[in-house]
A and B are shown apart, each in its own frame.
Chain A
Amino acid sequence: MKKILLLTLSGILALTLLTGCGKKGVEGSVATDGSTSMEKVIGSLGESFTGENKDVKFTYNPTGSGSGITAVSEDRCDIGLSSRNLKDEEKNKGLEETVLALDGIAIIVSPDNDVKDLSTEDIAKIYKGEITNWKDVGGKDAEIVVIGREAGSGTRDGFESITKTENSCKYRQELTSTGDVITTVAGNPDAIGYASLASVNKNVKTLKVNGVNPSEKTVKDGSYVIQRPFVIVTKTDKKLSKAAQAFFDYITSKDASEIISKAGAVPVK
């Protein structure tokens, strides 16, 4: 009896191993790989897509924008996910980008902080270490604790290129996930940080930037300036598999907009 049970169990295990591969090229599988910031968006899109197409196997590998782009160019997945625009050198390698959605990067502080509004210049100065005290931007007399993400992160890349602070940010802490940034900022009344608008929760306060509150509307019309694109990356010289093409058409269609905005990002269509 035990033996049979063992055999069945190992059989099931072996099967799950096989299906877990999600090899590309096989009929009915879509493999996506890339940006961790896009997890929510691509996850809900994948879920609703496989809900409608029961025979399609959908996989998402959260590795980061850079890795996702490399994965597409090396044929390790069907569709790459990037939370930044492609660089020219990447486009020259035969990759193509399609903007799926926009994501605002919220500037967050502790709820105890009195500051409500910062200009882009002030934010840049704070991150470059030129403004180091909250009283210089209308807050109380306390040193500003600058929190950011680790080198290579899509959010950091987006934030630094929008505020033009590349390579000159003086971080007090470099944390490795959006959740860490939010937790740390929530726990320190003098901290400032940035995080994807979709992930921000009630434990922190989002600041207005140049007088504009970050929201779906202001991100879409461009009045909230600290925003970045969610991009899907494909190869120009290679046709997608049937299933991948169907998925691509689905997520770029108007029907997908509602799912994207439910997942916290701003659809472009």
Chain B
Amino acid sequence: MKNKKNLFENSIHAIFLILGLITVASVILISLYLIFAGLPAISKIGLKEFLFGSEWASTREDPKFGILPFILTSVYGTSGAIVIGVPIGFFTAVYLAKEARPAVKRVTISAVNLLAGIPSVVYGLVGMLVLVPAIRKAFGIPDGAGLLAAILVLTVMILPSIIKVSLTSLEAVPKEYEDGSLALGASPTETYFRISVPAAKSGITASIVLGVGRGIGEAMAVMMVSGNAPNMPALFRSVRFLTTAVASEMSYSSGLQRQALFSIALVLFLFIMMINAILNYFMKKDKVD
């Protein structure tokens, strides 16, 4: 009887182990594949020319594979979204955590959750049909598709992760801290910004890093509003992100062009890894604190 039970327990353990290993194996497989698929083109083109070349013309007779415009666009686009999105998200989180009435809070949080659940192609579609023409009219430029449109779409897309993670860490601040501050005569607003926010600092930072990760990895929505010409980034110019560079040319690519697209994916992968490392650092710090 006992033996039978052991066998059952052991087999369940084995199944869980295998299921767990599938995740690990996928990560390892993807990483190895990206490295092996991405390196040949880099070595053919030259690392310096690939990363710092400012011209991309993949199907020309003498092709140019410089991805500096894509890297800069991804960096500018994500930073732009962070600059606009973080203040909105942060203050929303403070309001929801400390000031909002329960009914308001409930409605707002479900709206935020809904926002997080909207597929990115829908963001892209709305951006393409509403935002791009609106930018064209508002600024009197010939075409609205470009970096600014992408930044605005990304801003809305990263809001949910910023709000939700910041909110969780603000709510985790022990009530005694705030009570102490209030008892010493500080006003509620002073208490929130001098006591609660510093106490939730690392969670809020993590939320920003999470937003950066979401922004830099987004492809579909930005592809539909950014115009996709491989230009150096400027606010009203049509631009191409790292993600969209891979996505837009992949379907018809061949030869070195296709290999170079894998190399772009590798660069993007390294960016995301870096962001994850930073995120892990803040998460750990949170626990130590």
Q: Which residues of A contact B (CB under 8 A)?
A: 36, 63-67, 70, 142-145, 150-154, 167, 171-176, 180, 183-184, 187-188, 190-191
Task: Provide the residues of chain A in CB contact with B132, threshold 8 Å.
Answer: 184, 187
Q: Which residues of B contact A (CB under 8 A)?
A: 57-61, 128-129, 132-133, 136, 142-145, 223-224, 227-229, 238, 240, 247-249, 251-254, 257
Q: Quick one: which of B61, B144, B238 has the most chain A CB within 10 A?
A: B238
**A145 to B59 Cα, complex, angstroms:** 22
**A174 to B132 Cα, complex, angstroms:** 15
Contacting B252 at CB < 8 Å: which of A152, A174, A191? Answer: A152
**A167 to B254 Cα, complex, angstroms:** 17
Please tell me if the beta carbons of B252 and A187 are within 8 angstroms of each other in the complex: no
Contacting A172 at CB < 8 Å: which of B128, B143, B223, B253? Answer: B143
Please tell me if the beta carbons of A183 and B128 are within 8 angstroms of each other in the complex: yes
Please tell me if the beta carbons of B257 and A152 are within 8 angstroms of each other in the complex: yes
Please tell me if the beta carbons of B224 and A167 are within 8 angstroms of each other in the complex: no
Contacting A188 at CB < 8 Å: which of B57, B133, B238, B254? Answer: B133
**A14 to B188 Cα, complex, angstroms:** 63
Instruction: Name which residue of chain B comes closest to A65, CB basis.
Output: B252
Contacting B129 at CB < 8 Å: which of A144, A152, A187? Answer: A187
Please tell me if the beta carbons of A151 and B59 are within 8 angstroms of each other in the complex: yes
Please tell me if the beta carbons of B60 and A150 are within 8 angstroms of each other in the complex: no
Instruction: Name which residue of chain B comes closest to A151, CB basis.
Output: B59
Least distance between A72 CB and chain B CB atoms (Å)? 14
A172-B143, A173-B238, A176-B228 given as contacts; is B136 within 8 A of A188 (CB)? yes
Least distance between A148 CB and chain B CB atoms (Å)? 9
**A153 to B249 Cα, complex, angstroms:** 8
Please tell me if the beta carbons of A172 and B227 are within 8 angstroms of each other in the complex: yes
Least distance between B120 CB and chain A CB atoms (Å)? 15
Contacting A150 at CB < 8 Å: which of B136, B143, B145, B228? Answer: B228
**A118 to B129 Cα, complex, angstroms:** 28
Please tell me if the beta carbons of B59 and A172 are within 8 angstroms of each other in the complex: no
Please tell me if the beta carbons of B229 and A63 are within 8 angstroms of each other in the complex: no
Least distance between A87 CB and chain B CB atoms (Å)? 11
Instruction: Name which residue of chain B comes closest to A153, CB basis.
Output: B252
A151-B58, A190-B143 given as contacts; is B129 within 8 A of A176 (CB)? no
A175-B228, A183-B129 given as contacts; is B143 within 8 A of A64 (CB)? no
**A172 to B254 Cα, complex, angstroms:** 24
Which 5 A-B residue pairs are closest in the complex by CB-CB distance? A152-B252, A143-B142, A173-B227, A64-B252, A151-B59
A150-B252, A152-B59 given as contacts; is B142 within 8 A of A173 (CB)? no
**A197 to B79 Cα, complex, angstroms:** 41
Task: Provide the residues of chain B in CB contact with A70, threshold 8 Å.
Answer: 254
Instruction: Name which residue of chain B comes closest to A143, CB basis.
Output: B142
Please tell me if the beta carbons of B252 and A154 are within 8 angstroms of each other in the complex: yes
25 contacts between A and B (CB under 8 A): A36-B251, A143-B142, A145-B142, A150-B228, A150-B249, A151-B57, A152-B58, A152-B249, A152-B251, A152-B253, A153-B252, A154-B252, A167-B60, A171-B229, A172-B229, A173-B145, A173-B227, A174-B227, A175-B228, A180-B128, A184-B128, A184-B132, A187-B129, A188-B136, A188-B144
Instruction: Name which residue of chain A comes closest to B60, CB basis.
Output: A167
Please tell me if the beta carbons of A184 and B142 are within 8 angstroms of each other in the complex: no
**A191 to B132 Cα, complex, angstroms:** 13
Instruction: Name which residue of chain A comes closest to B133, CB basis.
Output: A187
Task: Provide the residues of chain A in CB contact with B223, threshold 8 Å.
Answer: 176
List 8 extra interface pairs beyond A150-B249, A172-B229, CB under 8 A: A151-B58, A171-B238, A172-B145, A174-B229, A174-B240, A184-B145, A188-B143, A190-B143
Least distance between B62 CB and chain A CB atoms (Å)? 9
Please tell me if the beta carbons of A145 and B143 are within 8 angstroms of each other in the complex: yes
Please tell me if the beta carbons of A151 and B227 are within 8 angstroms of each other in the complex: no
Task: Provide the residues of chain A in CB contact with B57, threshold 8 Å.
Answer: 151, 167
